Amino acid sequence: MAEKNEMNTQGAQLDFVCTDANCNGIVKFNLMDLETADFQAMCPKCHRPYAFDPQLKEKFMKLHKLILALRDAEPILGDCNVGVAVPAGEVKIPYALLLTRLNTMITLNLGEQKVDFHLRIEPMSADTFR
């Protein structure tokens, strides 16, 4: 089962807007590539390199574990709901629907800046990010 989960996260892609004020390029990388010792992400527009410190890498690895846990829970996600209170009562939204319709992101400090890292799991192509 762990092997199946590992295969399912091969396409766990993260992207963020380059922190260079004059650039606004989209930096993309695979979450699984973080495990390599010489990992470095690069902005395709301004070619600024990004290397992540061990603390930031640890947070990304926790995100990886969360993805694996969701994959493992897939068989019961159809039975799970999120209740949203509305004036007429409560609306139940299937958890699986939330996972497919909402954009997932994690906001972390990159140097002195808060950066939104957008998560894309198993995109159809490398250009599916935005």
Report pTM: 0.71
Q: What is the per-residue pLDDT across 45-61, written as a single tens digit (0 to 9) for each?
A: 999 999 888 898 899 88
Average pLDDT over residues 18-41: 89
CA distance 80 to 94: 6
DSSP state letters, 55-92: HHHHHHHHHHHHHHHHHHTHHHHTT-EEEEEETTEEEE
Phi, psi of 5 (to 5 degrees): -60, -40
CA distance 121 to 129: 10
Closest CA to 26 of 10, 14, 8: 14
